[in-house]
């Protein structure tokens, strides 16, 4: 068996003979075989055993066996005891999740303390096949069909190339004892049902089913690498051009990989891809994704309000400006209001209005439904929703848009876009009221 495992270690560059490795040792067949094989192959290994105190005398029996096994091999053993039920109750997680979190947190801390290069765990081919089948039952994407990977950070899995039967045959040939977890023989957990009922039935159809499923999973890993390389091109942007993805034939995988970082699930990806332009889908993580014609845009649901296509922002829903002066909008911007000599601004961040026609206090707020103005150069009034649509602003830009309203309810300035004709600077203007947004 070492020939197969040794080749697998070399293929995936898992281990280095000059480094120290921790081997997770439960006392079961898989971990006992892994420790024995790596020790005999000349690797520098220590063992790490967790006693979760979940199975009464069995838990203590397992620990005692690990102590004896390591003494026979001349391997240093590190042990930890956990009150797993208390941890599960405290953190509101299942017993299984509690054991997993405790195990891997301790393993990683021990790895750092010992200066170990990695933690070897004894997942084998059947474990990977079971994972693929479980993910199929639950529903999954491409990544869920790739099975368990040989390396995940500092977690190393040298046994993924061999089956449970091969491991047990190896131990039998060596006369090596191991312990059996009685819960692994009970078909009450979903994984155990797959292991004890589903896989044996599939093996009746094809004795090589495990090898075939694992080979398929490995092929899918290569396909996933290609798609991940494509997805990486877009991971740092909050805008995804769907038209760019047409050359790959299908955009769904890339969109899913992009959106999952914002808390969106598979069904939401389908929902936004099927939506018309202007459609919005929200994630539980506090993000919205907008379909804007041929692109997708993501932003936080609780956004700051901004001047159109400018960097001016405001965290409050409205700010009152009682008189001339400088007012802080947020940590990045402020607004200055002052009277000055007559001139007409061409800067989109500065509005110049007839001071005698504007009534204080002013209010800075976002656009609201039904808002209207008389745009400069026009006599008729226009809904701001129509104005923004005409400028091809998307839904996100519309909901961020700021306006300045005077005491009479006149929207004197749609910030960055238009001033109102009724307060515009004209031939009779004596003094200008200048409103300017400044980025800090």
Same domain, 417 and 325: yes
Q: Which domain holds residue 272?
A: 232-300
Whether the bond into 421 is cis, omega within 30 of 0:
no
CB of 401 closer than 8 Å to CB of 415: yes
Query: Which of 300, 334, 358 lies at the terminal end of a domain, its last residue?
Result: 300
CATH value at residue 149: 3.40.50.620
Cα–Cα distance, 376 to 392 (Å, whole number): 19
CATH value at residue 354: 3.50.40.10
CATH value at residue 294: 3.30.465
Cα–Cα distance, 364 to 198 (Å, whole number): 65
295's CB contacts (< 8 A; 6+ apart) are 239, 240, 241, 242, 243
Same domain, 102 and 213: yes
pLDDT at 244: 87
Same domain, 321 and 295: no
Query: Which of 249, 282, 300 lies at the terminal end of a domain, its last residue?
Result: 300
Same domain, 294 and 314: no
pLDDT at 245: 86
Nearest to 104 by CA among 117, 90, 121, 91: 121
Can you list the residues of the chain whose pLDDT is less than 50? 185-187, 305-312
Same domain, 151 and 288: no
Same domain, 296 and 310: no
Q: What's the pLDDT tens digit per position in 276-317?
A: 988 999 998 899 999 998 999 999 886 554 444 443 455 567
Same domain, 153 and 280: no
Same domain, 9 and 74: yes
Total of domains in the chain: 3
Same domain, 328 and 343: yes
Query: Which of 223, 250, 277 lies at the terminal end of a domain, its last residue?
Result: 223
Structure tokens at 136: 């199929």
Same domain, 85 and 149: yes
């Amino acid at each position: 068996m070492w020939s197969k495992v040794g080749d697998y270690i070399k293929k995936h560059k898992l281990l280095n003979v000059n480094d120290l490795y921790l081997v997770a040792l439960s006392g079961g067949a898989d971990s006992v075989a892994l420790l024995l094989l790596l020790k005999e192959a000349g690797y520098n290994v220590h063992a790490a055993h967790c006693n979760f105190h979940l199975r009464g005398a069995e838990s203590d029996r397992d620990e005692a066996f690990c102590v004896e096994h390591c003494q026979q091999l001349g391997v240093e053993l590190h042990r930890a005891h956990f009150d797993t039920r208390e941890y599960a109750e405290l953190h509101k997680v299942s017993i299984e999740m509690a054991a997993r979190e405790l195990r891997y947190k301790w393993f990683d801390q021990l790895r750092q303390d010992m200066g170990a290069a990695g933690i070897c765990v004894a997942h084998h081919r059947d474990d990977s096949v079971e994972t693929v089948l479980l993910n199929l039952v639950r529903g999954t994407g491409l990544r869920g069909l790739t099975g368990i990977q040989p390396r995940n950070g500092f977690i190393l899995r040298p046994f993924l190339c061999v089956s449970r039967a091969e491991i047990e045959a190896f131990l039998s040939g060596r006369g090596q004892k191991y312990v059996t977890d009685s819960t692994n023989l009970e078909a009450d957990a979903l994984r155990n049902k797959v292991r004890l009922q589903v896989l044996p039935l599939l093996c009746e159809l094809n004795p090589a089913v495990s090898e075939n499923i694992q080979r398929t999973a490995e092929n899918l890993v290569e396909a996933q690498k290609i798609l991940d390389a494509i997805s990486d091109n877009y991971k740092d942007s909050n805008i995804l051009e769907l038209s760019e993805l047409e050359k790959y034939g299908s955009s769904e995988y890339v969109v899913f990989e992009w959106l999952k970082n914002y808390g969106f699930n598979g069904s939401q990806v389908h929902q936004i891809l099927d939506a018309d332009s202007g459609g919005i889908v929200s994630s539980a993580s506090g993000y919205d994704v907008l379909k804007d014609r041929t692109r997708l845009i993501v932003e936080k649901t609780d956004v700051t309000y901004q001047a159109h296509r400018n960097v001016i922002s405001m965290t409050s829903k409205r700010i009152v400006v009682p008189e001339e002066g400088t007012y802080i909008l947020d940590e990045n911007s402020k607004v200055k209001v002052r009277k000055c000599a007559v001139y007409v601004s061409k800067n989109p961040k500065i509005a110049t209005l007839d001071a005698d026609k504007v009534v204080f206090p002013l209010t800075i707020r976002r656009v609201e439904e039904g808002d209207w103005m008389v745009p400069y150069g026009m006599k008729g009034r226009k809904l701001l929703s129509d104005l923004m649509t005409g400028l091809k602003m998307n839904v996100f830009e519309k909901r961020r848009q700021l306006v300045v309203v005077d005491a009479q309810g006149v929207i004197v300035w749609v910030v960055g876009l238009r001033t109102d004709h009724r307060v515009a600077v004209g031939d009779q203007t004596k003094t200008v009221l200048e409103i300017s947004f400044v980025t800090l």
